[in-house]
Amino acid sequence: MNRKTDVVIAGTGAAGLFAALNLPQEKEIIMITKSDLRSSDSYLAQGGICVLRDEEDYDSYFEDTMRAGHYENRRESVDIMLKNSREIIDDLVGCGVEFSSENGEFLYTREGAHSRPRILYHEDITGQEITEKLIAQVERRSNVRIYEYMTMTDILMEQGECTGIVVRDRKGDSFCIYAKDTILATGGIGGKYQHSTNFPHLTGDSVEIAERHGIRLENLDYVQIHPTTLYSEKAGRRFLISESVRGEGAVLYDKHGKRFTDELKPRDVVTRAIREQMKKDGTDYVWLSMEYIDREKILSHFPNIYQHCLEEGYDVTKEWIPVVPAQHYFMGGVWADSDGRTSAGHLYAVGETSCNGVHGANRLASNSLLEALVFSKRAAKHISRDTL
C-alpha cells in the first residue's frame, strides 16, 4: 500500500539516523533499511572518529586529509568538516555516547597518515557505541517510523524533482513512499566485491538508481582497499584489523619475518606495499605482529579484535596473524553539495553513498563517521530551512 510522509530516509546507518535526529520533530519521517536495523557498516566501525583537537590542530588535520586524498578533495567540504567536528562530538556525547577517557579527559588514538593522535574511540567498537546510542534516540521519537527488510528499488521523479521512493518489502510486494524530501543514506558498495569488510547487502543501490535517472555522480573509480583484514579461506565479510593497531605499534612482516614498509603511510600506499610483497613472496597474505604493544593495552583497547582472532585460532598477544587487503570504503558516489543536495530537487545524499568531496581520491582513516554525521546534520538543517 502506498504511503505519504514529509521525509523518507533510505538507510539506518549513522548518516540516516543522525539526519532523522536533526530534522524537526513536527515532520513525519519514514526510515527504511534493506536488512535489520543494526546491520550497517556504521555498526562495524572499530578505530574511532576524528576530531579537531584544538585551533592549532587545524592546519595539520587539514593537510593530513588533503595529502591522504591526493589533493583531489573539495577544500570547502574539508573545512566544513573540521570546523564542525567538535560540535558533532558534543552532540554525540549529548546522545549518551561514551568515548574512552581517563580522569575525565578524552583519550585520543592515532591511525595511519595522521600526524598526531586526534581520534576518539570506544574500545575497538566505536561504531557500535555510536550507532546504538543514535538508535536509542531515534526510537524515542514519535515522528519517526522505521521499517526493516524494506529495500529501495527506485526513486520517483517529476520534472527534475524527487517525490519519493519505490520500495520492496520482505514479502516481495512493491509500493511507493511519497515524500516532500528524500534522503539517500544507503552506505557503500562492498557487497559487489568478493573480499570486502562491508556487509554483503551494501551494493551501491543509490548510485545505480541515481545513474538511471541521470543524477550527477562523482569519482566512481575511487574505491579504498583496507590493507589489513584477517586472512581467511572462508567466504563472506572480511574481519578488519583496525589501522589504530598499527598506530599503536603493530608491524608488518614478510614471509621471512622482515619488515617491508612504513606501516603508518596512507592506506593506498600500505596496500600497494603488501600486494607487491605477496607477489614477491608468492603468498596469499603477509603477517601482522602486535609484539610491540603491551598485553594490557591490547586487551583494553582492542578487546573485540583480540576475541575475534582468538575465535579464529590466533592469540594476538603471543603470535602473528595473517592479513590481506580487502575492499573497504567508497570515496565516490552520488554527487552532493555541502548541504547534501544532489543534482535533483528535494533529493539529498549523505554518508558513504554520497560524494561531497571530503575524501578526494583516498579517505583518511576515521574521517568517514565524522563526515557522515557532519553532512547528514547539514542536510537535515537544509530540509528544515527549505520548508519553514
Ligand X SMILES: Cc1cc2nc3c(=O)[nH]c(=O)nc-3n(C[C@H](O)[C@H](O)[C@H](O)COP(=O)(O)OP(=O)(O)OC[C@H]3O[C@@H](n4cnc5c(N)ncnc54)[C@H](O)[C@@H]3O)c2cc1C
267 a catalytic residue: yes
CB atoms under 10 Å from CB of 17, counted, come to: 33
Out of 80, 109, 366, 374, which residue is the one contacting ligand X (CB under 6 A)? 366
Of 41 and 337, nearer to ligand X (C-beta) is 41
**Residue 309 interacts with ligand X (CB under 6 A)?**
no
Is 227 a residue that touches ligand X (CB under 6 A)? no
Q: What pairs with residue 3 in β-bridges?
A: 177
Long-range contacts, stretch 302-310, CB < 8 angstroms, 24+ apart: 302/123, 302/124, 302/242, 302/244, 302/245, 303/123, 303/124, 304/46, 304/123, 304/124, 304/125, 305/46, 305/124, 305/241, 305/242, 305/245, 308/230, 308/239, 309/230
Amino acid letter, residue 383: I
Does residue 185 interact with ligand X by CB under 6 A? yes
β-pair partners for 154: 166
What's the min distance (Å) between Cβ of 199 and ligand X? 7
DSSP conformation class of 239: P
Minimum CB distance to ligand X smaller for 67 or for 255 = 67
For 14, list phi and psi in degrees, rounded to 5. Answer: -55, -40
With binding defined as CB under 6 A, does residue 10 bind ligand X?
yes
Beta bridge partners of 230: 323
Binding residue (CB under 6 A) for ligand X from 29, 49, 120, 309 = 49
CB of 350 to ligand X, least distance (A): 7
The residue written with cell numbers 608491524 in the block is 251
Binding flag, residue 184, ligand X (CB under 6 A): no
* Binding of residue 288 to ligand X (CB under 6 A): no
Within 104-133, the residues that bind ligand X by CB under 6 A are 126-127
Among 9, 19, 30, 48, binds ligand X (CB under 6 A): 48
Q: Taking CB under 6 A as the rule, does residue 359 contact ligand X?
A: no
Spatial neighbors of 51 by CB under 8 A, at least 6 apart, are 85, 86, 88, 89, 118, 119, 120, 370
Nearest alpha-carbon partner for 91 in 367, 369, 295: 369
Which CB atom, from 28 or from 123, has the smaller least distance to ligand X?
Answer: 123
State the nearest-atom distance from the C-beta of 169 to ligand X, in Å. Answer: 11
- Which positions from 320 through 339 interact with ligand X, judged by CB under 6 A? 329
User: Which of 8, 19, 21, 32 lies at the binding interface for ligand X (CB under 6 A)?
Assistant: 32
Q: Does position 374 bind ligand X by CB under 6 A?
A: no
Quick one: which of 164, 187, 227, 340 contacts ligand X (CB under 6 A)? 187
> Active site residue: 53, 110, 267, 378, which one?
267
Determine, following the binding rule CB under 6 A, whether residue 362 of this chain makes contact with ligand X. no
Helix, coil or strand: residue 182: strand
**Whole-Å CA distances, 332 to 211, 216, 322:** 13, 11, 30
Q: How many chain residues are in contact with ligand X, going by CB under 6 A?
A: 44
Residue positions annotated with a catalytic role: 267
For ligand X, the binding residues (CB under 6 A) are: 10-16, 32-35, 39-42, 44-49, 126-127, 151-152, 185-188, 197-198, 201-202, 205, 240, 329, 351-353, 366-369, 372
